[in-house]
Amino acid sequence: MFVNTFGGIVALIWLIVIGDYWYLIGAGIFSLFFSAFGLAILMLPSTGLQMLGFGLIKKKQKIFGFIFMYLGNLLLLAVFSAWILYVFYFGLINVQKESDLFVVMLWCYGVATGPIHWMASKEGGESISTQIMTFFISLGCLGMTLMISFFYINIFSSMLFFILCVFFSINWMAYEAYRQFKLYGTLETLKK
């Protein structure tokens, strides 16, 4: 997506030109460098549940295995949702003029999705589930950015659109895991 590549850069330049948002710029740059590490630590319980699910499926406990994999993905997306809510809220409380709302929300979009895209890029292009999750997180954040900026919808109401996107992605990922297992009898390609 074009916004993923250039949105944060355009917003950064725009905020520098405005000049009143040095704290927001500094916090965003700091979080771009260090938030992936924090998110990775918060993702550990999710990874544990997913590995437990894989183990149960290998032991022919398919139903429990898929339940644990679903719960692991749900926990993962809950961590990402909390991160995104925090970033957008932090941006909103630092908006100084209504005319700056769009650029601040665009900056928040870049700061919120940047670490998620970076971590997803480390998994490679073969992971269908990662691609699905990253796309719908980006779509949800873009929707939040537009709803808050142009329609003045509050953060919690716009978060409902994000949650809808995440809900769709988690169920699509569960379907892909089930389909993979039915086609090949294994989930090995999902682990890549």
Q: Which two tokens stand for residue 70?
A: 């679903």
pLDDT of residue 42: 96
Q: What's the rounded Cα separation, in Å, for the pair 82 and 62?
A: 30
Tally of CA atoms within 13 A in the half-sphere of 119 that contains its CB: 20
Residue 23 lies in a domain: yes
Residue by residue, pLDDT tens for the chain (192 residues) are 678 878 999 999 999 999 999 999 999 999 999 999 999 999 999 999 999 998 998 898 989 999 999 999 999 999 999 999 999 999 999 999 999 999 999 999 999 999 999 999 998 777 888 999 999 999 999 999 999 999 999 999 999 999 999 999 999 998 988 888 888 776 655 554
Q: Please tell me what DSSP assigns to residue 74.
A: H
Give me the domain span that covers residue 180: 2-35+86-191
What's the domain count of the chain?
A: 1
The span from the CA of 108 to the CA of 190, in Å, is 31
Is residue 176 domain-resident? Answer: yes
Question: Domain for residue 146, yes or no?
Answer: yes
Q: Is residue 68 part of a domain?
A: no
**Separation of alpha carbons 148 and 117, rounded Å:** 22
At 89, list the tokens. Answer: 């809220």
Determine, yes or no, domain membership for 70: no
Q: Confirm whether 64 is domain-assigned.
A: no
pLDDT for position 123: 86
What confidence score (pLDDT) does residue 191 get?
52
Distance of CA 26 to the CA centre of its chain: 21
Chain centroid offset of residue 74 CA: 12
Asked if 148 contacts 92 with a C-beta cutoff of 8 angstroms, the reply is yes
Residue whose pair of structure tokens reads 């997506």 in the numeric block: 1
The span from the CA of 117 to the CA of 65, in Å, is 27
Secondary-structure breakdown of the chain: helix, strand, coil percentages, each rounded to the nearest 5: 85, 0, 15
* 26 domain-assigned: yes
For the entire predicted model, the pTM comes to 0.91
